[in-house]
Amino acid sequence: MKKVFYCLGILISLGYAPKALAGLISLTKAPGAGFEALNRRGLKQDESEKVSRLIAYVRNMQGAVFIRNGKEYTPAKAADHLEKKYKKHRKKVDTARQFVEKLASESSSGKPYLIRFSDGRTVDLAELLDKELDRIEKG
């Protein structure tokens, strides 16, 4: 069993966490076990994967309008902007929560990023992403 965990550690360090964890689950024959079960043991979903999922969430917001410094953008443009900002400042954030707080909440001018939905409702992007991150982390 030590060899299994050693190999698992190598796979995780090389960025193959989901495949490695899936392999561990099949090896332990724990039916129904998933990331939730492993998270209880202290293993965490990769933070950069969470950020990628948040950016994809923005990209797929059909009918929404992203507002940055008073200008309107499509969800795809908003996602591209967040992706570039994350790549540029990636070393300044350690968690997806910090990504939301430090990079996805406001522009460099200090104005908050906003999302206007097709029903006319407008919310801060940070508030929306915090809720989505909660959903992601709950699995």
d(CA 59, CA 80): 8
The larger pLDDT score, comparing residue 115 to residue 24, is at 115
Q: What is the pTM for the complete model shown?
A: 0.68
d(CA 96, CA 57): 13
Average pLDDT, the chain: 80
Longest dimension (CA), the chain: 58
Q: 110: phi > 0 → left, psi -120 to 50 → alpha, else beta; which?
A: left
**Positive/negative CA dihedral, 96, 98, 101, 102:** negative
**Residue pLDDT, tens place only, 94-121:** 999 999 999 999 999 999 999 999 999 9
pLDDT at 32 over 70: no
The larger pLDDT score, comparing residue 14 to residue 114, is at 114
Q: Exposed/middle/buried for 112, CB within 10 Å: 0-12, 13-18, 19+? A: middle
- pLDDT band at residue 7 using 50, 70 and 90 as cut-offs: low
pLDDT at 26 over 50: no
